[in-house]
């Protein structure tokens, strides 16, 4: 779009487009603004109510609040983590204790404890059963006396009831017989009345049935006539539609065949017309001769004129039809010629395009052959590179698999060797300690501990915890370095796992907060001894 500018404006635009020069007015204004900014900052630096100082104080207060909130969150998180760890310890101790007591050996000890309790309580049960039998015999004697007395009273009452029922039945029988006679008489009169009414109803019903039957017969006849007329009308309509369809089909066939048979029909019509004209002339001549012979020459002349006129009209019509057919044939031939010429032009253009495309295809074929050779060469190089990478990966994976299998073998040997023996011995120590505690508790409650000793003896024999018998004297000198080992007792340094502290609840204060006041406010209490025989009661029972 053209612009109209003065010289000053154009020079000013040139100065703006020059990157190496700067407008002095702009530089002076920038220095003045920088000076004003520095002076303003120096003036308001120590003002307490300046925007910068107020923002600085607000930022310090915000940071202090954030630090206090972070400290509170950290303290809460530490308490939360500590509480969760204690809860996890309690859950793990409960799970381990449950798993330990669900094994066969602790179950065996539990059965032994139950047996000791049963043995202690059996004598008490025998005493209780003797006392109960005595009380039951005494109660049975009292119940028998009471039953005999009640039976006597009941038999007397039943005899009185039978006598009263007999007298009442006599009275009821007389009343019922009188009522039966009255009912029979009333029923007989009602039956006769009902029978007469039924006869009248039957007569009326027969009349109504006859009327209904006649109506149904008339209705059926009318329905049959209506259905028959509908069927006839439907048949006629179907026949008419079929004829119309056949007529349309015939018309289509005739229209299709008209073009093919037009030339033959025109030729045949022309010949037939010439033949008819000749025959008509002969017939007319014969009639004229006959009329002349009969003396009616005037009338024959008139008929001949009419006949000639009709012949001429017929010939004119035939000639017009022939001319129209010839014109139609000429138009059809011209159209065929035009179509042929268009086809030849299209075919020439198609051959030209085909030759051009074929030349391009030949050129592209040579070019594609070169590209295909380059592609095959690149494929071969890529295949060699991938083979080298695959070989390196196979070697690396082979080495990693060997290292992993060696590490797994070492871990398996440790797991099924040293670690397994250690775990088995820990289980034996735990079970033997548990059994010793159960024995102490049974003795404290005056229960016979024989079943517990028998269970421990069975466990030691089952897992071969007793020391081996002494070797023969001839072999002892060779095995003096092997001291006899007795596994039927816990190891000397074994300590049973202590239960975790009880749950103090989410609102309980921390140990750090109550460190100085815990000894003065709350007295030290001894934990209540719990049962160790596996028959502990649920909390709160």
* Confidence at residue 1, expressed as pLDDT on a 0 to 100 scale: 46
Q: Of 382, 404, 437, which residue constitutes the final position of a domain?
A: 382
The string over 478-504, giving b where at least 16 C-beta atoms fall within 10 Å of a residue's C-beta and e elsewhere, is eeeeeeeeebbebeeeeeeeeebeeee
* Confidence at residue 484, expressed as pLDDT on a 0 to 100 scale: 66
Residue 405, phi-psi category: left (phi > 0), alpha (psi -120 to 50), beta (remainder):
alpha
Residue 468, phi-psi category: left (phi > 0), alpha (psi -120 to 50), beta (remainder):
beta
Q: Which domain holds residue 316?
A: 296-382
**Structural domain includes residue 526:** no
State residue 514 phi and psi, 5-degree precision: -105, 20
**Structural domain includes residue 331:** yes
* Confidence at residue 398, expressed as pLDDT on a 0 to 100 scale: 92
> Is the Cβ–Cβ distance between 44 and 50 less than 8 Å?
yes
* Confidence at residue 495, expressed as pLDDT on a 0 to 100 scale: 73
For residues 214, 220, 222, 224, the Cα torsion angle rounded to the nearest 10 degrees is -150
Helix 104-294 × helix 297-416 angle, to 10°: 170
**Structural domain includes residue 167:** no
* N-terminal to C-terminal alpha carbon distance within the chain: 101
**Structural domain includes residue 250:** no
Give the CA distances from residue 361 to residues 199, 373, 374, in Å, rounded to whole numbers and listed in that order: 113, 18, 20
**Cα–Cα–Cα angle for 67, 69, 71, nearest 5°?**
70
> Is the Cβ–Cβ distance between 120 and 447 less than 8 Å?
yes
Classified as helix, coil or strand, 530 is coil
* Confidence at residue 360, expressed as pLDDT on a 0 to 100 scale: 82
The string of DSSP letters for 5-58 reads: --HHHHHHHHHHH-SS---HHHHHHHHHHHHHHHHHHHHSTT-TTSHHHHHHHH
Q: How far apart are alpha carbons 40 and 200 in whole angstroms?
A: 132
Q: How far apart are alpha carbons 292 and 300 in whole angstroms?
A: 8
Q: Of 382, 399, 416, which residue constitutes the final position of a domain?
A: 382
> Is the Cβ–Cβ distance between 533 and 438 less than 8 Å?
yes
List pLDDT tens digits, range 79-90: 888 888 888 888
List CB contacts of 439: < 8 A, sequence separation 6 or more. Answer: 449, 452, 453
Give the CA distances from residue 321 to residues 89, 183, 375, in Å, rounded to whole numbers and listed in that order: 121, 115, 77
> Is the Cβ–Cβ distance between 318 and 269 less than 8 Å?
yes
Q: How far apart are alpha carbons 365 and 154 in whole angstroms?
A: 128
> Is the Cβ–Cβ distance between 431 and 457 less than 8 Å?
no
pTM for this prediction: 0.32
The length of the chain in residues reads 541
Domain total in the chain: 2
The stretches in the chain having pLDDT less than 70 are 1-5, 15-23, 99, 101-104, 288-300, 476-484, 498-541
**Structural domain includes residue 512:** no
Q: How far apart are alpha carbons 515 and 170 in whole angstroms?
A: 102
> Is the Cβ–Cβ distance between 89 and 503 less than 8 Å?
no
Give the CA distances from residue 118 to residues 3, 129, 448, 459, in Å, rounded to whole numbers and listed in that order: 120, 15, 10, 22
For the purposes of burial, counting CB atoms within 10 Å of the CB of 438, is it exposed (0-12), middle (13-18) or buried (19 or more)?
buried
Q: How far apart are alpha carbons 259 and 135 in whole angstroms?
A: 132
**Structural domain includes residue 291:** no
**Structural domain includes residue 83:** no
* Confidence at residue 245, expressed as pLDDT on a 0 to 100 scale: 82
Classified as helix, coil or strand, 519 is helix
**Structural domain includes residue 326:** yes
């Amino acid at each position: 779009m053209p612009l109209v500018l003065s010289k000053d404006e154009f020079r000013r635009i040139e100065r703006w487009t020059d990157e190496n020069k700067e407008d002095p007015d702009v530089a002076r204004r920038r220095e003045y603004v920088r000076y004003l900014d520095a002076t303003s900052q120096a003036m308001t630096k120590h003002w307490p109510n300046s925007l910068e100082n107020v923002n600085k104080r607000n930022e310090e207060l915000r940071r202090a609040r954030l630090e206090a909130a972070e400290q509170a969150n950290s303290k809460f998180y530490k308490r939360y983590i500590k509480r969760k760890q204690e809860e996890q310890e309690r859950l793990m101790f409960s799970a381990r204790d449950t798993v330990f007591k669900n094994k066969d050996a602790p179950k065996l000890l539990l059965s032994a404890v139950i047996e000791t309790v049963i043995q202690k309580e059996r004598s008490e049960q025998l005493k209780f059963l003797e006392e109960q039998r005595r009380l039951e015999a005494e109660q049975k004697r009292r119940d028998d006396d009471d039953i005999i007395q009640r039976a006597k009273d009941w038999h007397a009452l039943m005899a009185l009831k039978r006598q009263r029922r007999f007298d009442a039945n006599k009275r009821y029988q007389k009343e019922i017989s009188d009522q039966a006679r009255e009912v029979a008489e009333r029923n007989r009169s009602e039956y006769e009345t009902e029978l007469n009414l039924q006869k009248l109803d039957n007569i009326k019903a027969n009349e109504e049935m006859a009327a209904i039957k006649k109506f149904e017969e008339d209705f059926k006849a009318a329905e049959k006539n209506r259905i028959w007329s509908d069927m006839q009308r439907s048949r006629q309509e179907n026949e008419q539609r079929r004829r119309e369809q056949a007529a349309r089909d015939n018309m289509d066939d005739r229209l299709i065949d008209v073009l093919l048979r037009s030339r033959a029909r025109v030729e045949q019509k022309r010949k037939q017309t010439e033949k008819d004209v000749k025959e008509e002339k002969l017939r007319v001549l014969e009639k004229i001769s006959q009329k002349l012979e009969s003396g009616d020459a005037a009338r024959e002349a008139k008929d001949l004129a009419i006949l000639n006129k009709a012949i001429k009209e017929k010939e004119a019509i035939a000639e017009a039809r022939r001319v129209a057919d010839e014109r139609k044939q000429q138009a059809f031939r011209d159209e065929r010629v035009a179509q042929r010429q268009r086809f030849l032009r299209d075919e020439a253009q198609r051959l030209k395009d085909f030759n051009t495309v074929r030349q391009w295809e030949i050129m592209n074929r040579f070019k594609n052959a070169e590209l295909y050779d380059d592609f095959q060469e690149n494929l071969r190089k890529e295949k060699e590179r991938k083979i080298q990478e695959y070989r390196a990966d196979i070697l690396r994976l082979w080495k990693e698999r060997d290292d992993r299998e060696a590490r797994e073998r070492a871990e398996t040997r440790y797991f099924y060797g040293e670690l397994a023996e250690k775990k088995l011995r820990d289980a034996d120590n735990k079970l033997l300690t548990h059994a010793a505690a159960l024995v102490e508790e049974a003795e404290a409650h005056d229960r016979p501990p024989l079943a517990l000793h028998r269970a421990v003896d069975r466990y030691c024999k089952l897992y071969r915890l007793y020391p081996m018998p002494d070797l023969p004297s001839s072999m002892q000198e060779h095995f003096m370095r092997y001291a006899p080992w007795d596994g039927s007792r816990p190891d000397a340094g074994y300590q049973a796992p202590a239960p975790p502290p009880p749950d103090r609840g989410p609102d309980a204060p921390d140990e750090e907060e109550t460190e100085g006041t815990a000894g003065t406010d709350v007295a030290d209490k001894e934990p209540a001894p719990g049962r160790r025989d596996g028959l502990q009661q649920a909390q709160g029972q």
